[in-house]
Structure 1
Amino acid sequence: MDVHESALELIGRTPLVRLRTPDDGRSAPVYAKLEYLSVGGSIKDRIALGMIEQAERDGLLRPGGTVIEATSGNTGAGLALVAAAKGYRAVLVLPDRTSAEKIATLRAFGAEVEVRPAGLPAEDPEHPLNVAARIAEQTPGAWLAGQYDNPANPGAHYLTTGPEIWRQTDGRITHLVSCIGTGGTISGTGRYLKEASGGTVRVIGADPASSVYSGGDGRPYFVEAAGHFRHPETVEDVWPQSYHQDVVDDVLPVTDRDSLLTVRRLAREQGLLVGGSAGTAVAAAERVAAGLGPDDLVVVILPDSGRQYLSKYFDDGWLLRLGFLDGDGSAARVGDALPAAVRAQPLPYVNRRATVGEALALLRARRAGGAEPVLPAGPCPTGGERRPTAPELSGSLALDTLTRAVELGQIAPGDPVGDHLGAPLPQFGAGQPAVAALAELTERGVETAVVLHDGQAVGLIGPQDLHAVLRAAGAAR
């Protein structure tokens, strides 16, 4: 009989499929390794099995034990699947920006899920990594997977992913393209392929543009399961030991917009429903292939399925709200209410670590210049030298409210302003209909909102700005 004894035998062994690229026939062929066809739905099935079986061999995980890990979802799903098959309890800690589908998947496998705030500095006790470590210390029979520093992570790819690709391409692969998250996939797979080819295979990392790996400043980005975020208040930026930089020849930055639109294009034009990090990898692979010839061969790893992101990357409303879609150009849009000169300048922004006195000076200067004296605030480190991203807009400041509190002695000018923030300002994507934004502001009685383009704040608007753009659109018709 052609059967398997358990789901664990269905991990890995994923196929390669050729992608239609923009220069198909003139540039190098690109083959995608469809890791979402692994039984648990992602490439992380491989490391989950590898890490658990190594822990069993080392005596760290025994019958009746508990598997614990901090994860963005995919490793958690793999660990939950393997734990279920082997009879272990699983406790997984996730950041609150993880898609709802991923969280539901973990619970479906019987895992216990702890959700903690995303965007915390590494030293914060509530950071998912610290919470997972604390739970492991307090749980008898617990084993902390520690994928970021566990040698069985890259080891699993050295033993499985690399050999599969070498065999499937009959040794013809010349370039590997993979995202970098924990670093295990690119390190283990890349090392095997370099050794098998005598050092001729080049290994290219694909990375969100703001990720530290590719030279970004570490601010938040919108592609899950890739890159390296660095909170501005993190004291020491420690990179994963699973990431072996000596294996990687180059790292290409890819914008969130390119990643997310590539994901949608793959689904609609090639029938491949994949996640955001796959979009990052394919966008980079297309750039690599465009500089090569037909005798080269590029393999790109597509880590997971788009079914886990239907409420995000494939939802037009989600993308519109964050400014990743341009909307209906035949009607007035929110972005039309921002003059080009305003959009060209960084949005004034208050770092929550500034003092109340510093914030008041900035707000008063805006009023003196005729601008609305209300600003967003949050953990953006530079206080306005770059555009903050939507997750960084964690509060707001209004001149009149702050001034009154100081005059009443409720707060002092030297206090950190982060202790006295108001609610975050409403946010609208630049492509959203102006009429809908005006209706929402009117209903909420709010006078100032933030305009987002590609997830970044590009300006402030009020009801009067939206009225103006709607009047202009009506006159044009």
Structure 2
Amino acid sequence: MDSVDFLSMPGLHILSWIHFPERSVARHILYGVIIGVSLSLTSTSLVAYYQERKRLRATRQFNLRPIELRGDEIIKGVTGLIGNTPLVRINSLSDALGVEILGKAEFLNPGGSVKDRVAVQMIDDAERQGLLRPHTGSRIFEGTVGSTGISIATVARARGYEATIIMPDDVAEEKVKALRALGADVERVRPASIVDKKQNLARERAKYFGLENGPTDHLPRAHLLPTPSSSVLVSTAATDALGAEHYVMTSNDEENFRTGPRGFFADQFENRSNYEAHFDGTGPEIWRQTNGKIDAFVSGAGTGGTIAGTGQFLKSMNEDIIVALSDPDGSGLYNKVKHDVMFDRKETEGTKRRHQVDTVVEGIGINRLTKNMELALPIIDDAFR
């Protein structure tokens, strides 16, 4: 067999052209490939991660946080349970309308209503101003159809005060029983027009607190302490038998003035503490619980404190948020918002009663403008009857 010249074969001729790089060069090339692949995988993973986060944020923007009280926390008394109420998604309406409709579960407050916040704020503010001192036999007076009275009775007993609640005799009997169970004195009166003197009965009771026989020629009135809100009245039994301008207090009178029992008229309708409770509490809670993703706030109004305080806070965070009033039949607030006239349909010519006092919802709606409601009017965008 003839010998074969392998170098003349085509395949071997090509191999003769290939030159493998030196070891150091090959190592650098390998490192480059590894780094390139790693960077590619990392960037792809980061993009996927942030896309997933964006998707989850979009789907969870109204996911509600639980109440922030943990099981291992110790609450200081019943007032520690007030506030931090959850938002509840109203599934039927939300699904039907394609928007998220959430309700603030204020019924979970220990007193059963949003008025718990107001009661705490009013007493806190009074104590800060030196108007009330606990465990001195002082008494808080208020006129109410029930909810505020229950809240005041709950908080007053927890904070070392007595409570007297003046209420119409046509409110639900369950409210009266609840008040008495909480230790409050309940005085029931016939329903009266807002201009009737009976509307000021709680104020009168506070004014003459400590005077066993009430106002007389010799004891004209209890001492009125100056307050930041002129509507809040505080009395003490250190009174002037001959007229304040002629009276010089004895040392015992001064001590009684400083530490003795006082009568405090809470006056939820005019007391600015009502507004502050919601501006400092309810509004910030709603903003936090919705992560600021809120388009509208809808509320009824009685005293006006809830819609004023909550609405003002939400508007301060985002002026595009719509604040709307839901007003029952028999109330004049709807027309005040819509037409700037405090007027109800039932007061039209030929139908107006001498004293228009009732709305179809107990405790909501009113036919006069309170100081708290005045704070709400500039920020209410719409009203619905």
Q: TM-score range by the shorter chain?
A: 0.5 to 0.7
Contact 1:204 1:250 in 2 (8 A): yes
Whole-Å Cα distance in 1 between the matches of residues 93 and 83 of structure 2? 29
Aligned counterparts of 1:180 and 1:123: Cα–Cα separation in 2:
20
Tell me, yes or no, if structure 1 residue 187 matches structure 2 residue 258: no
Q: Deviations over 1:441-477 (max 9, x none)?
A: xxxxxxxxxxxxxxxxxxxxxxxxxxxxxxxxxxxxx
| Residue of structure 1 in register with 2:364 after alignment | 226
Secondary structure at the aligned position of 1:21 is classed as helix
The residue number in structure 1 matching 2:209 is 139
**Kindly, what percent of the aligned residue pairs are identical?**
39
Partner of 2:186: 113
Structure 2 residue runs without a partner (length 5+): 1-71, 211-261, 336-343, 347-355
The alignment status of 1:252 with 2:384, answered yes or no, reads yes
Determine the structure 2 residue equivalent to 1:171: 292
Instruction: Give deviations 1:386-423, integer Å, cap 9, x for gaps.
Output: xxxxxxxxxxxxxxxxxxxxxxxxxxxxxxxxxxxxxx
Deviation at 1:222, TM superposition (A): 2.7
Rounded Cα–Cα distance in structure 2 between residues aligned with 1:153 and 1:121 = 23
Shift in Å at residue 169 of structure 1?
Answer: 0.3
User: Partners in 2 of 1:194 and 1:60 — Cα distance?
Assistant: 32
Residues of 1 paired with 2:267 and 2:309: CA distance?
16
Query: Equivalents in 2 of 1:72, 1:148: separation in Å?
Result: 12
Match of 1:300 in 2: none
SS across alignment from 2:372: coil
The letter of the residue matching 1:6 is G
In the TM superposition, structure 1's runs of 4+ consecutive aligned residues that sit over 4 Å from their partners are none
CA deviations on 1:175-230 (whole Å, 9 max, x unpaired) are 00110110000000000001012x0111011111221111324642331110014x
Equivalent residue, structure 2, for 1:31: 102
Q: CA deviation at 1:2?
A: 2.5
State the SS of the aligned residue for 2:166. strand
Code of the residue aligned with 1:139 in structure 2: it is F
Counterparts of residues 5-404 of structure 1 (less than 5 Å) = 5-22=76-93, 24=95, 26-63=97-134, 64=136, 65-118=138-191, 120-125=192-197, 127=198, 129-140=199-210, 141-197=262-318, 199-215=319-335, 216-217=344-345, 219=356, 220-229=358-367, 238-243=368-373, 244=375, 245-253=377-385
Equivalent pairs, count: 241
Please state how far the C-alpha of 1:121 moved relative to its aligned partner.
2.3
Question: What CA RMSD, in Å, does the superposition of the two structures yield over aligned residues?
Answer: 1.4
Q: Deviations over 1:4-42 (max 9, x none)?
A: 121010001101111023572543220011100011110
Distance in 2, matches of 1:201 and 1:162, equals: 12
Q: Are 1:21 and 1:30, in contact at CA under 8 Å, matched by a contact in 2?
A: no
The answer to whether the Cα contact below 8 Å between 2:87 and 2:104 also exists between their aligned partners in 1 is: yes
How far apart are residue 95 of structure 1 and its match? 1.1
Structure showing the higher strand proportion among its residues? 1
The structure whose Rg is larger is 2
In the superposition, relative to structure 1, how do residues 186 and 135 fare at CA in structure 2: closer, same or farther (>3 Å)? same
- TM-score normalised by length of structure 2: 0.61
Gaps of 5+ in 1: 230-237, 254-477
CA contact (8 A) 1:178 1:186 kept: yes
